[in-house]
Structure 1
Amino acid sequence: MVQLKLEIKAELENLANFQPQGGCDDPDFSYYFKLKCGNCGEVSQKESCVTLSEMVDLPKGRGSAHLVQKCKFCGRDGTISMIPGRGRPYTIEDSESQEFAPLMLFDCRGFELVEFYFKDGWVAESTSGTKYKEINFLDGDFVEYDEKGECPVGISDLKHRFVVTK
């Protein structure tokens, strides 16, 4: 069992913070990953998706997890469970100090998370208080103009990392 904390970092321009639509523990926010099998080392070709609101029974009937998947190469089962309450919004202070901020904690058994994809379902708030909803990073960066603050706003240089925790 390995617990991996997903941490994010970005360059914020005139934005106070950004986070998943309903906060870091949003039950409907989708996290997209590539997985690496802990047995054979094969990295999945397709992205896997997990959300807090979806649980799957384990194959041997002893509990549940947010993701149960079989390695396409060696056939071994692996699970991913999400542990809410460990994330927070990414702030302008984090951006200015070039720090990573925790987003979510994952309990990984049989798989390792190797790549996180910033997709859709994000929100941000400008330094003047304007809220931006339904942000997606499918095309890369987020750029907009804040009428209230009379300035450009943006999110760029998105990065992530996984940190092993105990």
Structure 2
Amino acid sequence: MVNYMLMITAEFDNIKSLQPQGGCDDPSFTYYFKLKCGNCGEVTEKEAWLNLDEKIAVPKGSVNLVQKCKCCGREGTITMVPNCGRPLTQDLVEQGEFVPMMLFDCRGYEPFDFAFGSGWQAESLEGTKFDDIDLSEEEFSEYCEKGKCPVMISNLRAIFKVVKGL
């Protein structure tokens, strides 16, 4: 078992924070990424999708994904571990920091190539909330009426970092 933390960063223009619509632990927010088989190294063609609402019963509890490798036939599981993420803020962006979003307990698979999709929420420096943002194009721009200025999220980046000692 290996734990992987999804870490994100971006560039902000007049944005205070970015997070999944209902927060990092929103049970309906869907995470999309490709998988690499830990046995043969085969990479999935399509992204797997996981959210906290989707549970699959297994002999020792439940997981969020069970998938069999198309190449070697080995089965792997991924379990999402809530309460580990936090919003990406302007301060962290200015420092060039990546912020944790979600922790994944992976058995037999390695996650990579996170795909930003829809369901994000941003807040402008003036407090205007922008809901259900689609970041699949890895950019967002809008106009903040309160601040009378454009707002923008760009240069989105994501990495999966191995986390030990949990």
TM-score for the superposition, normalised by structure 1: 0.97
Shift of residue 105 of structure 1? 0.5
Matched, 1:52 2:52: yes
User: In the alignment, what sits opposite 1:139?
Assistant: 137
User: In the alignment, what sits opposite 2:87?
Assistant: 89
CA distance in 2, matches of 1:70, 1:154: 40
CA distance in 1, matches of 2:162, 2:124: 32
TM-score for the superposition, normalised by structure 2: 0.97
Counterparts in 2 of 1:77-156, with a 5 A limit?
77-156=75-154
CA displacement, residues 53-86 of structure 1 (integer Å, 9 cap, x when unaligned): 110122xx23210000000111100000010011
Which sections of structure 1, spanning at least 5 residues, go unmatched?
none
Q: Which runs of 4+ in 1 moved over 4 A?
A: none
The number of residues matched between the two structures is: 164
CA distance in 2, matches of 1:20, 1:156: 16
1:4 aligned partner, one-letter code: Y
Which sections of structure 2, spanning at least 5 residues, go unmatched?
none
1:3 aligned partner, one-letter code: N
- Alignment RMSD: 0.7
Secondary structure of the residue aligned to 2:132 is: strand
- Aligned equivalent of 1:70, options 63, 68, 93: 68
CA displacement, residues 78-131 of structure 1 (integer Å, 9 cap, x when unaligned): 000010011000000011111100001000000000110000000000000100
Percent identity (aligned): 56
2:133 aligned partner, one-letter code: I
